[in-house]
Structure 1
């Protein structure tokens, strides 16, 4: 990870045409805090969290079904790509690698497009996972056909293709800030994006699809899942009491309980971390304010919303560890593996 940052710094030094200062100058403490936050998020969010989650889950030894594992791996991979594109290539590069090839307008547009696509995938993979768990818990007849590894792969691939197509207009929503020797540099949102009806409708459609509609779908599915579990729990307890005369341990209900804990923790974290971002969107849309003209207070509120939104891409691994005992066991084994291998190699050489 440190090597990746060094490569970007070297490229910026070689191709730098803008802002010759090598040390970034931040205008206030808030900006310094934002930059420090994104650097920490970029370093921690890539290797220690999402990469480890992908490796551990891909081994298939966490006691999860193939279907669930594919959804969780896809979510971790999407989160990893969000950290790379949105946090490292878009935000960190803006402060630390000014004048590098990343700031050339066509490259800048591609990075922004990729950040939008990966963010949408991260959100909608959470929705598809929620729906999969809803089917597995509430629709037993459909479960055998829908909750399979093949279906999960088809759903994830289709979602990715559709979301990529939906975000193509974002490439054309940016324009260069200035041109040097016929080379366009930097990206800024075109003014028409805030005024022309077509762009305004697209902005609303984009925010409805991510994250307003996911909010509604997740809350609805979770409510239906809770209702079904409560009804099923009462029925199974009644039957258990009639057959055994006492409340015995029910493996089926225990399995459902663990699934629900994982489901609710993931979806709850998603809703809480996106909430400030949604409030900010509703505010500037209803008030008719251009976000580029925010005062300091509103600008800080907007930044906090974006920071929390990006943080949601680094929380899933922690959630897996808190809710899944077998994931913790595999994670511990993965951390210990290099050390145990070195110790075994040393003992072998000594013998």
Structure 2
């Protein structure tokens, strides 16, 4: 057992993977992250059970709809955002505060994440997520099975948008259960609202890029990564943690977390771009090559166009007609994959440099070091 400093919050050491004992970073993550995920999942389950029961009293069909939203939250997921928020809080508080009062805020991030995923899958017309049918696909299948009238695909998309909306409302409601002083909760809410605004701004840029690829660039692709992904995956969760701990927004720790979060968040999205083309669908839970088929202007594809020879660029322009495997090889041949790998390494290095100067204790520093690697050097 390990204790969360003076509060005595017991954290059970989770089973380690081979090699954990030889790697102190992985050992700390194995010791802490498992039980944090369990605590977040328990918080979500208790909250969502009551919410679904309440909605089921209106109409049985609404209960089924709410249950589908609950399942979208509880099935799968790394709990990465709540983990970053926890370590942001733990690094700021030094373990001097009890964990249960802040768990609703950590868990609310997972509801917000589900909102973003469900809407993103509708906008991208994605068929699978985490190895399962996406919400709109599953709902369309239910429409067909029930023998309803109308277009099942249109129904699935409309119902999925409502699931995403419900998850955002649930996130707001759960966040309000955070048991910290009112002035501190107000600062938490300000950070949370800014995170939502930035996420939606980044998502709009992502949609615009797909419809205006001719005017896109590497810089704009990175801007999408910064606001669509980095903000609500790493940077703002960390800052939410400092707000939960009552840290002033002009504190040195906030500046260090901001730099670290932006760097790790961008690297996370760059890795996602690579996995979207070269990842194993059995591991990622999503088909490979969709970005190439649609010509989505990711940083990877923008770099490939920038580095390509005229012949390679012509082949990239025919992306929607060529075999995906051939296009993936073509992108790699331009040098874009190697360039993205260097960009990831550079950002991780910058994040660790920011962490070196951050006023956090050894445990939080070790965990955040490990998270920077785990979030950016992954297979799913």
TM-score, with length taken from structure 2: 0.27
More helix by share: 1
Which is bigger in relative contact order (C-alpha 8 A, separation at least 6)?
A: 1
TM-score, with length taken from structure 1: 0.29
